[in-house]
Amino acid sequence: MKSFIKYSSIILFLGFLLWQVPVVFASHSDQQYFINVDYYDQVIYASKFGYTTYRKPEIKQFFQKCKQMGVDGVLWRVSVLGQVAYQSKTATIFPGNMDCNSLQGQYLEMARILQDFDPLDVAVKEAKANGIKIFAWMTISDEGGIKANGFEKYCESRFITENPHCALLDKTGNAMVGTLCYSEPAVCKQKLAEIAELCSYDFDGIYLCTRTHAFYRNTDKGDDYGYNMPVIQEYKRLYGKDIQKEPFDANLWHQIRAEGFTKFLKNASHIVHKSGKELWLGIKTAENEKYGWPYGNAVLPWKSWVKDGYIDAIIAGHNFVPPEAIARGTKEFKSVAKSNQRILFWIQLFNYQTAKRTDLDVLEKMIKAIDESGANGGSMHEVAGLEEDMTGYWDPVSEFVQKNWRKGIDAIQK
């Protein structure tokens, strides 16, 4: 949840930036472009968008604007820091264990909204009414992480509070706060229940995102975490060694850890596909099968998941994707994918680490690379910066999309 990061600096000058860059898009019928929405931020920062809140009228207006812009779909974030922004019976609803009487301002408004109506139900209905695809954006290892101003007291799920052993653990049993270990049966049971509940909504699909806020509290610098009891027991059963006390083969250990997630994903795929929806997965990179920072040397065998048909599409990138990596990632994906499986790329327009905008020439190369690589589109992160200034951000981007997104290279060059 970027509610803890000030949006006044994020994605500055976005509309002008995109408007000035001579970017072209392919006319491929299978290309799709999405906008990412974190509903928490829409409520918390409503005043920056000229609203006092972000309830039913504002949600309706948002999807009408999406239709006017011409984007294909929306990734609607439903979970962050272990809590959800919909009327769930399986997950922890914001603000979790926090007493609502202790909340103020827009945080209190967020809690009241979730008591008054289900924003997720409204979003789905408005998306359908405007011909916009909508995916539930679910973070799968983001149970906490923020530690500032007392937020850690309630920015976590009840599940992890009651089952602290289900986080990734180091050899001494200390948790990598904010993470989940999918070798733990209880984790799989909990997350599969949440996915099944989301499938009761009329989404086009479920987007499982591997981004996390855990880095605010801890990072794995190599092979620091992943010593949960099911992993320890499985390694002992297969190879006869206690990985807590004896030297072991790290590659075999990583395979065991990955197998837990594979079993989860297989079951998730069955639930989602049985409901007639698509299952998308967000990964750090499509160039290899590394899980990526902050997970140390952990692996994410997405290629086998694509081959086995568990995944309908992947979105590659957690932040900025270098233009030169797009062609390589697309090639890797297409080497294992069927013709009906797709790869999209994360389009990050602001660098949180350097607090700088993406250079114009790099942005141009990145968006062109998506087209030229044969990839299936991208997802822009994120809408809050656009709505902050309708004249300077949203309107120019909307005009840009309408004029350029669907015309293709040949039409534009003419």
Per domain, the residue ranges of the chain are: 2-413
Q: What is the mean pLDDT of residues 265-282?
A: 99
Place 353 in a pLDDT band, splitting at 50, 70 and 90. confident
Q: What is the mean pLDDT of residues 224-228?
A: 98
User: Does residue 244 surpass a pLDDT of 50?
Assistant: yes
**pLDDT computed for residue 205 by the predictor:** 99
Percent of the chain with pLDDT over 90: 65
Q: What is the mean pLDDT of residues 3-17?
A: 40
Dump pLDDT digits (tens) for 274-308: 999 999 999 999 999 999 999 999 999 999 999 99
> Which residues sit opposite 32 in a β-bridge?
377
**pLDDT computed for residue 401 by the predictor:** 62
Q: Are 290 and 277 in contact (CB under 8 A)?
A: no
- Give the length of the chain: 414
* CATH fold for the domain made of 2-413: TIM Barrel (3.20.20)
Query: Residue 182 and residue 197: Cα distance in Å, rounded?
Result: 19
**pLDDT computed for residue 405 by the predictor:** 57
Nearest-CA neighbor of 285 among 249, 255, 326, 323?
A: 326
Using CA atoms, how far residue 203 sits from 6, 31, 170, 188, 316, in Å, is 30, 19, 38, 22, 21
Query: pTM to 2 decimals?
Result: 0.88
Place 330 in a pLDDT band, splitting at 50, 70 and 90. very high
User: Whole-number mean pLDDT of the chain?
Assistant: 86
- Rg over alpha carbons for the chain, rounded to the nearest Å, is 21
Q: What is the mean pLDDT of residues 15-21?
A: 39
